[in-house]
Amino acid sequence: MNVSGDGALIVLEGIDKTYDMGKAHQVKALVDLTMRVSSGDYIAIMGPSGSGKSTLMNIIGCLDTPTSGNYIFEGREISDCSEDELAHIRNIKIGFVFQVYNLLPRSPALANVELPLIYSGVPRDERKQRATETLTAVGMGERVKHKPSELSGGERQRVAIARALINKPSIILADEPTGNLDTKTSGEIMAIFDRLNEEGNTIIVVTHDPEIAEHTKRLVLLRDGQIQSDEEIKSRRNFS
């Protein structure tokens, strides 16, 4: 099957991820997983704890490599990529949003959002300008000089989203982005993702919360490292 020729953004085929825990013990985090993501998709991944959601996101995000199987990103076989090429893909093609924000604690919001641009060699002035614009777009225009410790959880996550967006990535990967937030703030964060998807961004969100999943258009259920179901969300709410 020629998976790379059909225009999908992401094709995962027979992906295994096995962690070796000493001689005898192995953890199979993903087992023969096959999945495709098209441009413009808005996907929720749900499943019990330990079902492999984060592992899957890390592989899609090129932070980790599968033990076996094919991963084709924009028509390119990822397992052929060097470490530097993976770093480059992470830098300009992927926007990662983490549950724990993962901001640099001592740097102000602006510097945090600028960071990916430093690694793509964007000049200083342009960096400042784009970071300011992107922060403004997520409603943080007034907080560019604040350090993470001076921001609420929701605000930190907005900064993290701005950082993920700064290089106009092909896909935004959010691993439990609302896991540390209250319901109201979670709704606000999801509203940002909704809008980004409407603007054409491809987004995958991992969540435990069915209400969060209802923001998306497609739900993938994981169990024991395998896809249990993958279907369109019919009850999709219109939040906007």
Ligand X SMILES: Nc1ncnc2c1ncn2[C@@H]1O[C@H](COP(=O)(O)OP(=O)(O)O)[C@@H](O)[C@H]1O
Beta carbon of residue 50, minimum distance to other proteins (angstroms, whole number): 15
HSE-up of residue 118 (Cα within 13 Å, Cβ side): 7
Angle at 75 between CA 233 and CA 114, to 5 degrees: 80
Helix (H) or strand (E) holding 49, with range, is: none
Q: Which residues pair with 39 in a beta bridge?
A: none
Stretch that binds ligand X, among 44-52, 137-145, 155-163, 212-220 (CB under 6 A): 44-52
Among 7, 23, 25, 49, binds ligand X (CB under 6 A): 49
In the bound state with other proteins, the residue whose beta carbon lies nearer, of 80 and 83, is 83
Beta carbon of residue 119, minimum distance to other proteins (angstroms, whole number): 4
In the bound state with Mg ion, the residue whose beta carbon lies nearer, of 139 and 179, is 179
Angle at 97 between CA 236 and CA 43, to 5 degrees: 25
Within 35-74, the residues that bind Mg ion by CB under 5 A are 54
Beta carbon of residue 46, minimum distance to ligand X (angstroms, whole number): 9
Number of residues that bind ligand X (CB under 6 A): 12
SS3 category, 103: coil
Distance CA 114, CA 119 (A): 9
In the bound state with Mg ion, the residue whose beta carbon lies nearer, of 54 and 132, is 54
Burial (CB < 10 A; 0-12, 13-18, 19+), residue 78, is: buried
In the bound state with Mg ion, the residue whose beta carbon lies nearer, of 54 and 91, is 54
Enumerate binding residues for ligand X (CB under 6 A): 19, 21, 27, 29, 47, 49-55
